[in-house]
Amino acid sequence: MPLEGRSLAFRYGKDPWVFRGFSIEIGEGEIVGLSGPSGCGKTTIGRLLSGYDIPHEGAVLLDGRPLPRSGYHPVQHVFQHPEKAVNPRLRMQRILNEGWQPDAAFRASFGIADEWLGRYPGELSGGELQRFCVARALGPQTRYLIADEMTTMLDAVTQAQIWHAVLDVVRERRLGMLVVSHERRLLERLCGRIIRLE
Ligand SMILES: Nc1ncnc2c1ncn2[C@@H]1O[C@H](COP(=O)(O)OP(=O)(O)OP(=O)(O)O)[C@@H](O)[C@H]1O
């Protein structure tokens, strides 16, 4: 069953509307791209679909029902900056297990070294941290993944490793995914369909 945003509208405070009447649907197992100029609202759309923000108009529906307000969230959102998405006071083992308990094989597929588990976020590079954030988001109850410039800050080798591991999981579990990116070639390679915002 799809993840749907129906006639969504959102504005920050009293600022002008970022968008109004915007609709989007992502099916199970579907990889959809979202592109458009800086500031057009891509991240905001992702935040509505993953329940981080509530639309002022319209509704976000999963399987035809509103998103759950508590418990493990079936729509997970991975952002560009992993250092902002982790608690700096927790060791990586606890951060990883905030979502679920990935086993050694799963950790290895994301290139997560065992010796990183005892470290703090400040002791890892951005690429190392992002491997944890992506793995954390892929618990067994995840149905949709919002990949918001997920590998933009990373070197090419790390980018390729993370995408390889993510796509394996997405295909095996038939997850739906929204890929937000400025990189046209990445979107064309990954996505069955690309939505371009003005
Ligand atoms: N927390 C916020 N408070 C106020 N305005 C915001 C906030 N977040 C985003 N905006 C504004 O809302 C608009 C849409 O922002 P958004 O980040 O969704 O766009 P985007 O397309 O993802 O941009 P980029 O490609 O640069 O990441 C922009 O004008 C932005 O300045």
Q: Which two tokens stand for residue 23?
A: 């609709």
Return the DSSP state at 109. H
Buried b / exposed e over 85-105, threshold 16 CB at 10 Å, is bbeeeeebeebbeebbebeee
**pLDDT at site 129:** 97
The pLDDT value given to residue 119: 98
Residue 112 structure tokens: 């997560």
pLDDT at 115: 97
Answer yes or no: is 14 within a domain: no
Residue whose CA is at the smallest distance from ligand 1 atom 2: 12
pLDDT of residue 1: 81
Phi, psi at residue 109, to the nearest 5°? -65, -25
Q: Which of 19, 40, 182 to mutate to test the pocket of ligand 1 (most atoms within 8 A of CB)?
A: 40
In a domain, 191, yes or no: yes
CATH number of the domain that 34 lies in? 3.40.50.300
- Does residue 106 lie within any of the structural domains? yes
How confident is the model at residue 39, as a pLDDT? 94
- Which positions of the chain have pLDDT values less than 70? none
Distance (Å, rounded) from C-alpha 54 to C-alpha 117? 34
Q: What is the pLDDT of residue 99?
A: 83
Domain count within the chain: 1
The sign of the torsion formed by the CA atoms of 193, 85, 137, 74 equals negative
Which residues contact ligand 1 via a Cβ below 6 A? 12, 15, 18, 36, 38-44
Note down the domain range covering 152: 29-41+72-196
In a domain, 23, yes or no: no
What confidence score (pLDDT) does residue 131 get? 97
pLDDT value for 75? 98
CA dihedral (89, 90, 91, 95) in degrees, to 10, reads: -140
Contacts of 108 (CB under 8 A, 6+ apart): none
**Which backbone phi and psi does 91 adopt, to 5 degrees?**
-75, 160
Does some domain include residue 144?
yes
**CB-based contact 177:134 (threshold 8 Å):** no
Classify residue 185: in a domain, yes or no.
Answer: yes
**Considering the domain boundaries, does residue 192 fall inside one?**
yes
pLDDT, tens digit, 9 for 90 and up, residues 134-185: 999 999 999 999 999 999 989 999 999 999 999 999 999 999 999 999 999 9
Residue whose CA is closest, atom 30 of ligand 1?
39
Query: Has residue 4 been placed in a domain?
Result: no
Q: How many residues does the chain have?
A: 198
For 28, what's the count of Cα atoms within 13 Å in the CB-facing half-sphere?
9
Report DSSP state, residue 17: P
Measured by CA distance, the residue closest to atom 11 of ligand 1 is 39
